Structure 1
């Protein structure tokens, strides 16, 4: 079954893909092996800067949900830059989320839902993925959330 064009879905939802960021250290932002693309951890950003904070201390769960959603958009932008066509995405396979949080914060899954819900909304059943959400004591540059992604892609330019 042919699904709706991913770019049309993004436009309907008011989502514009931003410019992609360069790696902050010695690594590649996206590596493809066979039909799988592995996207390095992306840091949450707000107003063009790293979104700094710690859940349970300086940030609320609702803010984190928005941070994770914006991270999903950044990941889509990186995937677009790599594939040149998001319609080649066959499935979002695995999402791993690191949530900068205090020892007593237990809402990591609720923060991460911001990304998971966007992928499911845009890709339908193919956007539903395996997932892990970890609470960590610190993330590079003090970021509040970091997400990495594994995606199955179609070879060439077909959408199957």
Structure 2
């Protein structure tokens, strides 16, 4: 049986190539590390898709946007830490879904992010989370996620 030696090897086996970490959209830090906790600023999917869930996009499309957002967060983690193996565990995930007021599947959208982190980090990817419907978000993105991780400094 082949045993994965690193998170990067697991990503390679999953056919996931991390992009360079995206820059912040305004005047703030991509992340801050305090006392072994890494706070990653809100990230959205690459390509700047625009629109609302329940109007412009389906729940399934939102799931994929949330998964893409997870890849963005992984890129920030790797850029900051040098290796994803320094992530001890995911702690908290908070999603803001740009949605029509009648949309009710915010939790299913954010599962795209959560599922990715469970696949990549296994039990260390399990996290507390909350998800909110938003009337509007930055750049009219369909989802923005901010997150907190315990890391080896």
TM over 0.5: yes
Counterpart CA distance in 1 for 2:31 and 2:78 is 11
Q: Is the 8 A contact 2:93 2:128 kept in 1?
A: yes
Matches within 5 A, 1:78-157: 78-155=76-153
2:45–2:68 Cα contact (<8 Å) kept: yes
Aligned-residue RMSD, C-alpha: 1.2
Between Structure 1 and Structure 2, how many residues are aligned?
Answer: 151
Q: Is the 8 A contact 2:45 2:65 kept in 1?
A: yes
Q: Secondary structure at the match of 1:41?
A: strand
Q: TM-score, normalized by length of structure 1? A: 0.91
Segments of 4+ moved more than 6 angstroms? none
TM-score (norm 2): 0.95
Gaps of 5+ in 1: 156-160
Shift of 1:110: 0.4
Distance 1:140 1:39, change over 3 A: same
